[in-house]
Amino acid sequence: MPELPEVETVVRGLRAPLIGRRIESVWYEREKVIQMPSAEQFTARIIGQTVQAISRRAKYIICQLDHDILAVHLKMTGRLFVAAPVNQPPEDRWVRLRLGLDNGEELCFSDARRFGRVYLASSVEEITPALGPEPLEDDFTPTILAQQLQGRSKAIKALLLDQSFVAGVGNIYADEALHRAGIHPQRPANSLTKPEIKRLYSTIREVLNKGIEYQGATLNWYRKPDGSRGESQDHFYVYDREGEPCLTCGAPIVKIRVAQRGTHYCPHCQPEK
């Protein structure tokens, strides 16, 4: 599933072709792709509105319209791109929603497995569950992280995957941050020392910023809006490298399961305490 760097890359790639465009038509394959409101209400409300800005909240792509927000969650296989009908990629045969724009192009939502969802609402809070702080914003500090860890006995990897704890971090960047911080993924969250918390805070921000710099990780379905691949996967320290030598110490990378998710770490650099 695309995580914060991938979603942020999509947001940045959509701004130039989409901001200032007016929505003039709606086509959907199935009503289910529109999570809220009803497909009929969605169509009636969105036509005629102009895209004013595009941003991100957690893993949601947020298009600010004249009166509403259009929010998209890509889930596992979603793609969002703008193209003229004649120029849409022939291999992209999984388009579930098209929004016709005033310049003849279309905002297309493609989703092979149909897990992604589209929302039209008056505010982000209307559609999102309780979300934690944005890890790259100034109001996320080591002190805030330490406060959130107090009393939490859950494994630190599982907690990082909890979007109510911190927004936007997923399986890939949790593994990478924990490795760089030297913390075992199964450590109880409330067992982290102050120096470890400070390291983890720094490495969370480091791996997310690097992920954005490399424009996301293309391991399976993720593509940038122009159809090209991200490059983050070429710079992983541990994720998806089971059995390969650790880039820090040379020990083999191990894969276990934490919170039902495949988890990669180095037993030497991240000892279990």
Active site residues: 2-3, 59, 261
Q: Is there a contact between 80 and 74 (Cβ–Cβ < 8 Å)?
A: yes
CA dist 8 and 59 (Å) reads 8
- What distance lies between CA 161 and its chain's CA centroid? 11
- Here the tokens at position 22 are 């007016």
CA dist 145 and 140 (Å) reads 7
CA angle 268, 271, 273 (to 5 degrees): 160
CA dist 146 and 83 (Å) reads 45
